[in-house]
């Protein structure tokens, strides 16, 4: 039976104090994979101690890669990288394992791994990855069970079919270890893509166009490097909204405002007070009357899809009718069912668009964590709800947020982590960031919400994905 980890939260406590944003998971994983491109040691600082990092290190151990991880510093030496098939049991846990394609192909001339797992946020095909690597000279021998690429790759011109973060990163990783020059058009420009580019430059690659949608990479023999992973702008947004929702006063260190331009624009429209102090610390005050607004997620520098659920929670406390439009994934509104149980007034218009009418008081209930970011949204809902909220399946949250209960307790939150339980599933396990359907409810999750009926099951449609 699967393990169940839970958070028990008592709400309506203003959060006050100071918190430091940790390293970005979405930047760390591709930077770890970049270390496979050289026989020399690569040192990464500011690495978050979260489940996904340890999962990738398990794969590294299987491949014969030496590593040590202590006090947020990770040292990797792939001098004796073993080029062998990576089994399903190792890659099924998270989507980030797809980032092994590019560097292992470049280093070994062949890569074989089972299809990766991870959060199911709608249709997230690997076609963009395969097509791009084939354009660089690889031969595709994949079948329905296994990804298999083989060949000596070389520079070329790649036009990606969409602004895919992981496909952009895979091409960057492969091109950095290939002969010649590679140009990527329709490249993703998210902060974690930029951070990977910076590391590859530190390792000896020449890259131009960083931060744009057109990248040029000159591959070379890569060398050792020491790199500080960028801070997590998604965690920064989470704590900023926690201050807004609880009427608190939080000072957040490690925020890079250029990574959250659209987020702060939304904060302005919302009427949520914040200020950057002289030392760069972000200070967020709660207690203001929040105004309804419209939010559309988009590729960077647009509003982050990974903060959409958190903003949906804020909309329940805003005055008027808010509209949220998810442009990237069709499976990301499952958390609205959980918010309804707590008293939110929600109407689903399509699989990509919903109305949230506020303000409505939220009440503590038993709710589930559908994926990493939806789970973080439920934590925010619990913090501003009356009574006790029990959030199940928080192992998904802990794939992306380091020591979240501890950080919240330091700000005054009443949150307790319960572990070492096993539960018998009556319905499907809550999905990790990626299913085209909303998770089924277990018997424990079936308490009807006050506005249950207006929400309809999302349509199963395809959207551009990352």
Inter-residue contact 155 to 182 (CB < 8 Å) = yes
- CA dist 243 and 274 (Å) reads 10
Spatial neighbors of 99 by CB under 8 A, at least 6 apart, are 29, 30, 33, 166, 169, 170, 173
CA 275 to chain centre: 26
From residue 8, alpha-carbon distances to 197, 440, 459 in Å are: 40, 22, 32
Would you name the residues annotated as active-site residues?
119
């Amino acid at each position: 039976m699967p393990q169940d980890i839970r958070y028990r939260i008592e709400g309506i406590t203003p959060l006050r104090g100071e918190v430091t944003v940790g390293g970005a998971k979405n930047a760390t994983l591709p930077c770890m994979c970049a270390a496979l491109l050289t026989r020399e040691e690569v040192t990464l600082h500011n690495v978050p101690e979260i489940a996904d990092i340890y999962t990738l290190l398990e794969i590294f151990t299987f491949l014969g890669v030496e590593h040590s991880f202590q006090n947020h510093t990770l040292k990797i030496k792939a001098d004796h990288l073993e080029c062998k098939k990576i089994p399903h049991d190792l890659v099924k846990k998270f989507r980030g394992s797809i980032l092994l394609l590019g560097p292992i192909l470049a280093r070994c001339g062949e890569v074989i791994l089972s299809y990766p797992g991870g959060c199911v946020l709608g249709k997230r095909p690997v076609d963009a990855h395969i097509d791009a690597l084939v354009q660089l000279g690889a031969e595709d021998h994949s079948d329905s069970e296994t990804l298999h690429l083989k060949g000596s790759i070389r520079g070329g011109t790649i036009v990606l079919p969409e602004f895919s973060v992981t496909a952009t990163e895979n091409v960057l990783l492969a091109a950095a270890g290939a002969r010649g020059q590679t140009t990527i058009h329709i490249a993703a420009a998210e902060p974690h893509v930029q951070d990977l580019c910076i590391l590859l430059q530190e390792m000896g690659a020449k890259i131009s166009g960083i931060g744009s949608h057109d990248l040029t990479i000159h591959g070379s023999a890569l060398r050792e490097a020491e790199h500080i992973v960028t801070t997590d702008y998604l965690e920064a947004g989470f704590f900023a909204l926690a201050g807004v929702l609880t009427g608190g006063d939080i000072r957040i260190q490690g925020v890079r405002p250029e990574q959250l331009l659209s987020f702060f624009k939304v904060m302005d429209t919302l009427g949520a007070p914040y200020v950057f102090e002289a030392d760069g610390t972000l200070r967020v005050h709660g207690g203001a009357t929040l105004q309804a607004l419209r939010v559309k997620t988009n590729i960077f520098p647009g509003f982050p899809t990974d903060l959409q659920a958190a903003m949906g929670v804020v909309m329940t406390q805003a005055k008027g009718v808010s509209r949220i439009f998810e442009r990237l994934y069709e499976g990301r509104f499952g958390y609205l069912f959980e918010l309804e149980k707590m008293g939110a007034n929600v109407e689903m218009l399509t699989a990509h668009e919903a109305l949230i009418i506020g303000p409505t008081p939220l009440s503590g209930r038993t709710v589930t964590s559908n994926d990493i970011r939806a789970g973080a949204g439920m934590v925010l809902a619990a913090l501003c709800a009356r009574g006790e909220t029990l959030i199940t399946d928080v192992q998904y949250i802990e794939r992306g947020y380091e020591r979240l209960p501890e950080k919240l307790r330091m700000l005054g939150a009443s949150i307790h982590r319960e572990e070492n339980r096993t539960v018998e599933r009556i319905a499907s396990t809550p999905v990790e960031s990626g299913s085209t359907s909303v998770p089924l409810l277990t018997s424990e999750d079936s308490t009807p919400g006050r506005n249950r009926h207006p929400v309809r099951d999302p349509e199963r449609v395809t959207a551009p994905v990352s």
